[in-house]
Amino acid sequence: MFKKFLINCDQATTICDKNQYGEATIADKVKLGIHFLRCKICSVYSKQNVFLSLMYKDHAKSCKKMKHCLSDEDKAELKKNIESKI
């Protein structure tokens, strides 16, 4: 019975990614917890994955507040470059 809760590192990283987005089941979370007890590398991967996601979300929030537009001169130059390559 216990063997069905043992997973390899590839399965653990997949479950870790699913868990981060709220798609992991309770059984997946139990399997992941058991895997973390014996595999510290996957545990570190999980912590780094969460950290990077939080950093990205913070950056994305600040980036959404800024308006990113090309100036009319930049648009004209880009259009000229595209037309010259056609």
Report how far residue 7's alpha carbon sits from residue 42's, in angstroms, rounded to the nearest whole number: 11
Q: What is the pTM of this model?
A: 0.63
Query: Secondary structure of the chain: what % helix, strand, coil (to 5)?
Result: 80, 0, 20
Q: Along the 86 residues of the chain, how does pLDDT read in single tens digits?
A: 678 889 999 999 999 999 888 899 999 999 999 999 999 999 999 999 989 888 888 777 776 777 777 788 988 999 999 988 77
Torsion, Cα of 76, 78, 83, 85 (10° steps): 160
Closest C-alpha among 3, 56, 58 to residue 34: 3
